[in-house]
Structure 1
């Protein structure tokens, strides 16, 4: 795996001391931790963001989904201060990103670790930059290494870790200072099941502790496990926002009937009972099995692809 050596500010500038860490336990707070309004960003002929709006509150996990090129990674880079927007506003805990970097933890889509440094050294470095010292830093390292299943690899250089271990280490660097806003850009891309589950469990714990989390992914089943609210990005803006139940309302599910000769009858329908009755009426032989599938987030994804002409 090719490793890219980042500069420390990519994870956010350090605060003056540990007292500036985001306070814990603010779940369901009325004030948004992240408020993004009208973001616009163009690269030559490509309009990466075109009026992008998004809000995330303390304790909320926002699942940001969309096709490649929808603007998800550009949004993350602007909020984390890596690039500037052409227009629009970003507020983090009521502050502009330049003044709120101590509130942000970022796990970028590409691996961004120092190959010669061990897992422990990464957490010490970024924990120290964020104001953690002595017992507090040691406790944070112990907690995260256990949560992300990194304990046996703590003293192994990042450059020789497996892809899944690198993903978990990168997440640990983002989480070490308990940021009020956690930005995770496809953190489980190509990850093994152990890595995926460890990351999902750690994200849920951070949200329960009061962090606002923005989680971009193509694995829509992860958002179901995270009980995330959903923001659907398309062509540089958020086009749908709500709970999965709200976004799936009105989408068709599928009824499948398997006949004795192995033939299958299918119907896409918003009324499973009526659909099943129609298929049973069409069946001219014994029915072996019936399967009724409710619409899920993959159906939402497919419906957006149809609307977008893909």
Structure 2
């Protein structure tokens, strides 16, 4: 079952000659999620300070930022769990409090009933989203297969491993094929099998048209998902684009480890030239060479400098 795409605009007919036509202009799909200027305070703490983000159908946005950047508060507002103090949120044209059936949420912290089986969790959340009878049963089987949970369907959540619980949690968000998926660090502490099952399933759902917001500290996951990036800092998005766009020009690092155990590390935006120079000037036997490309930490540091931290 695929999420229906927005309707195509009507064909425009040209009048340059009798019976002549021209193809319709392609318009960008309307965003599934449109967030503008969100603000939220808890006493003296500003959790969101003008948070703005747009996510198109089929797009995976990697929402990244240090702890306290506002990522989880943003997810709670969009999912309708809390109300913002200011700003606007639209989910497929609806207020989030009336569009919960369009949203699937996998929270940062596990929220499963220990005595409920995986099947009972999936049926509960699927039923709350409007699935019934055969459609619900088919959805349970599909999600269990996607997340490699089929053999654990009738096992209570309290008897699952940590990775299995992570997959079950994600299943409750995926069960009704929502138009918008909010996944808050879904692979935190996960084993390789869980991580791969989740990444594969998220990619397929995006291919089927779902808009995805995926918060994580792992740039490698976002690269595998072919995600765009939104960098959050102090409750707002301060950088937006692809990983290649945001990391271009940032320095990486070249490290030489010598046989006596000492190291020589140098930050550089020209790793090849730097490595040649370091090797030419080395006066001791080199045991290993490591060239590290720019990563999220480098991006955070560059944004901190620009922001005056």
TM range (shorter): 0.7 to 0.9
Please name the residue that 1:301 is paired with. Answer: 300
Note closer, same or farther for the CA distance 1:24–1:199 as it changes in structure 2 (3 Å cut): farther
Please name the residue that 2:154 is paired with. Answer: 155
Cα offset, 1:307, TM superposition? 6.0
- CA offset digits 1:1-45 (Å, max 9, x no partner): xxxxxxxxxxxxxxxxx9xx952699x952111010000000001
Note closer, same or farther for the CA distance 1:165–1:261 as it changes in structure 2 (3 Å cut): closer
Matches within 5 A, 1:1-310: 22-23=3-4, 30-259=29-258, 263-285=262-284, 289-304=288-303
Note closer, same or farther for the CA distance 1:289–1:167 as it changes in structure 2 (3 Å cut): closer
CA RMSD of aligned residues (A): 2.4
- CA offset digits 1:251-281 (Å, max 9, x no partner): 0012234456555433211122331233134
Instruction: Provide the C-alpha distance between the structure 1 equivalents of 2:191 and 2:288, rounded to a whole number of angstroms.
Output: 34
Note closer, same or farther for the CA distance 1:102–1:55 as it changes in structure 2 (3 Å cut): same
Q: Is the 8 A contact 1:168 1:199 kept in 2?
A: yes
Name the TM-score, length of structure 1 as normaliser. Answer: 0.86
Q: Which has the larger radius of gyration?
A: 2
Cα offset, 1:286, TM superposition? 5.6
Q: Is the 8 A contact 2:6 2:29 kept in 1?
A: no
Q: Is the 8 A contact 1:103 1:179 kept in 2?
A: yes
Structure 1 unaligned runs (5+)?
1-17
